[in-house]
A and B are shown apart, each in its own frame.
Chain A
Amino acid sequence: MLFSPFRGGVHPDGFKELTSQKPILQAPIPEQLFIPLRQHAGNDALPIVSAGEKVLKGQLLARGGSGLSAPVHAPTSGHIREIKPVTAAHPSGMECNAIILIADGDDSPIERAPFMEDPFGMPPEVLSKKIADAGIVGMGGASFPAAVKIVAASKHRIETILINGGECEPYLTADDLLMRERAEKIVLGARLIRYTASARKISIAIEDNKKEAISAMQEACKSFDYISVVVVPSRYPMGSAKQMIQAVTGQEVPAGGRSSDVGVLMHNVATAYAIAECLTEHRPLISRIVTISGGAVACPQNVEALIGTPVGELIQCCGGTTEEPSRLLLGGPMMGQIISTDHVPLIKGVAGVLALKSKEIPSPSASPCIRCGRCVSACPMGLVPLEMANHSRQQDFEGAIDYGLSDCILCGSCAYVCPSHIPLVHYFQYAKDKISEQKSSQRHMDYVRGLSESKRIRLEKEASEKAAAKAAKASKRREKKTPLKVVED
């Protein structure tokens, strides 16, 4: 493609060759699994099992909580040791509740309904309910419950189902390998999403640095005329929804809008694969393919691992580390989360675990902004990162919003090109959090004002009712007295 598919963007070194030429390795079942109750955007799942209980592979462990949530299932058979907090896959390093499962090694599955012959014969509502019950969330990183996304999108007119095989983050090759080895099932999943959301066509977008994946996917979808494989140039952040939609359809998602506003529903290839497994084999989301890579890993490779496996054990099954890693990351180096310990369990939305050497980490010392404007040309959203950071530093969040903070996708392109190594994304995360804190304290204020108002009304009503009852009693007494007098007369 000669013309630029979207503005800005960067070309970080890929390091994909570390893992891209090795097949997917099946990780062994670990002795203990730590299954966090929150592996999705939204509220914690609610456990329905108790300590000591025996569970089978695929059994429901916790149902979706109130509001936005997703259920979690047992990745293998065994018994529940306890439910206690473990280190969360979260930048704070805080803990979240997790179900601890001791595997018995039998891996005996719960009885499933027979293989579904024709899911296309079922009503779409039944399919989206099944997707929700299988605990499927967006596996590209956002972890948004997939069924919620499909149901919300099907209320709009959806023209295109966009299957995201961009995988623009350096190091990560999990989607690449999945497309190469299991193309058929991804296509089946995409067709099921198309059917459920009643969309017209499917576009599978793949970056041009994944030649083998492109030919595998083309082969898998050649008998369907409504599916096309779109080759997009390799440029970070191609895998981001707004950029990919622009690259594939030429349409720009409006500021503050969603993909469905331009008639697109986007899902990651791994999510499409999970949906196919769920709707044909009744398999809940209990494992995923994850890239274990980085300079400190002895034998970097993609592994298919059970959800809840500590990432340290995943690194062990890739030969362990050759040196003490300087940094552990969940996800890619551009947007991934730094974790402080390798006891963090693998969760549904994590596509990569990176153990990086000190050489692979940029220098942390920041110097003042020289206003070179490189961040402005790198920003794929067309924002002004240097001004956004300046205003955020001075706690002028309104000013930061004026320069486009709300449209920032936190992709890190600006920080990547910054010659002064200013932690731009950190500023934006700080500012976004501060703004949401202000909003939530405003909501709290409105809520308590309503509460105190309703208490006042209630007390007044009670008082007037009391007075009325007293008056009624008094008049009754008078009535009683009057007839007596009549009798006396």
Chain B
Amino acid sequence: MISAILILTTMGLILGAALGYAAKLFHVEGDPLVDEVTQLMPGTQCGQCGFAGCTPAAEAIVSGSASVTCCPPGGKQLAETLSEKLNVSIDLDAMSDEVLYAHIDAGQCTGCTRCFKVCPTDAIVGANKQIHVVMSDACTGCKACEKACPENCIAMQPALETLDTWHWPKPMSA
């Protein structure tokens, strides 16, 4: 019996050490580029890109299996930063400048609270049986609320142009 215990203990020690060494030797570094790209993503895990969240999307973008333009909340700005970082060329003009934000039709909202529970950025304020409102400066346009709304009263709309958001257009000629 003692010999059996000794054999098993020795085997355990040797195999443990071997496994530990192998783990060190064959350690796979997490791609630092993926971490960097993840940092650039909105981090709302909205899933509009078709991936489970921002980190899987970042992995796919780095590996080249997803386009840098796949993130709607990030929009043109993110696509531009990513294309510079990853050195891929994209056609920015093909991307629409328009950013969509959620808008709640106050006439139909029943105050069910479902939309603000799913909002990844807490951009919707409201309470039970009170009309909810979207704070557009916190909205990423991820559409999570649109899907959650049982009344279909959330629509994605472009932001209203104001004196603050108006920009000089590009000159026509020369």
Interfacial residues, chain A to chain B (CB-CB below 8 A): 38, 88, 90-92, 94, 96, 365-369, 393, 395, 420-423, 426-427, 429-430, 432-434, 437-438, 441-442, 444-445, 447-449, 451-455
Contact = CB atoms under 8 A, between A and B. Distances in A.
Interface in B114-165: 120-123, 137-140, 161-163
A445 B74 contact: yes
Contacts of A38: 163
Contacts of A452: 42-45, 120-121
Name, among A92, A368, A442, A447, the residue most crowded by chain B CB atoms within 10 Å (CB to CB).
A92
Interface stretch (B3-11, B25-33, B166-174): B166-174
B77 A448 contact: no
Contacts of B72: none
Contacts of B120: 451-452, 455
Contacts of B170: 393, 430
Contacts of B163: 38, 88, 90, 92, 94, 96
Contacts of B43: 448-449, 452-453
Interface in B62-93: 73-78, 80, 92
Name, among B40, B75, B166, B174, the residue most crowded by chain A CB atoms within 10 Å (CB to CB).
B174
A423 B168 CA distance: 12
Interface residues of B, number: 33
A445 B42 contact: yes
B121 A448 contact: yes
Nearest to A437: B167
Nearest to A92: B166
Nearest to B43: A449
Name, among B78, B121, B162, the residue most crowded by chain A CB atoms within 10 Å (CB to CB).
B121
B137 A447 contact: yes
A420 B174 CA distance: 9
Contacts of A427: 171
B92 to A, nearest CB: 8
Interface in B89-112: 92
B66 to A, nearest CB: 18
Provide the main secondary structure of the chain A interface: helix
Contacts of B76: 441
Given A422-B174, A433-B167, A452-B43, 9 more contacts: A96-B163, A366-B171, A426-B168, A430-B171, A433-B168, A444-B137, A448-B121, A448-B140, A451-B120
7 contacts: A38-B163, A365-B173, A430-B170, A448-B42, A448-B43, A448-B140, A452-B45
Contacts of B173: 365-366
A434 B167 contact: yes
Contacts of A88: 163
A109 B174 CA distance: 55
B169 to A, nearest CB: 7
Contacts of A453: 43
Return the 4 tightest CB-CB contacts between A and B, nearest first. A366-B174, A433-B167, A451-B121, A441-B77
Nearest to B75: A441
Nearest to B123: A451
A429 to B, nearest CB: 4
Nearest to B92: A395
A452 B118 CA distance: 11
Contacts of A433: 167-168
A438 B80 CA distance: 10
A423 B45 contact: no
A447 B138 CA distance: 7
Nearest to A398: B84
A420 to B, nearest CB: 7
B138 to A, nearest CB: 6
A453 B44 CA distance: 8
Contacts of A420: 174
A438 B76 CA distance: 9
B138 A448 contact: yes
A94 B166 contact: yes
Contacts of B42: 445, 448-449, 452
A168 B118 CA distance: 58
Nearest to B166: A92
Contacts of A447: 137-138
Name, among B43, B77, B138, B171, the residue most crowded by chain A CB atoms within 10 Å (CB to CB).
B171
A367 B168 contact: no
A395 B171 CA distance: 12
A430 B161 contact: no
A37 B6 CA distance: 88
A92 B162 CA distance: 10
Contacts of A368: 174
A196 to B, nearest CB: 30
A70 to B, nearest CB: 16
A475 B73 CA distance: 46
B73 A448 contact: yes
Nearest to A434: B167
A452 B139 CA distance: 11
Nearest to A43: B164
Contacts of A432: 168
Nearest to B77: A441
A423 B171 contact: yes
A91 B169 CA distance: 11
Contacts of A393: 170-171
Nearest to A445: B42
A442 B40 CA distance: 10
Contacts of A438: 77, 80
Given A426-B168, A433-B168, A451-B123, A445 B78 contact: yes
Contacts of B77: 438, 441-442, 445
Contacts of B138: 447-448, 451
A390 to B, nearest CB: 11
A401 to B, nearest CB: 15
Contacts of B92: 395
Name, among A38, A94, A444, A447, the residue most crowded by chain B CB atoms within 10 Å (CB to CB).
A444
Contacts of B169: 430
A368 B80 CA distance: 29
A71 B96 CA distance: 39
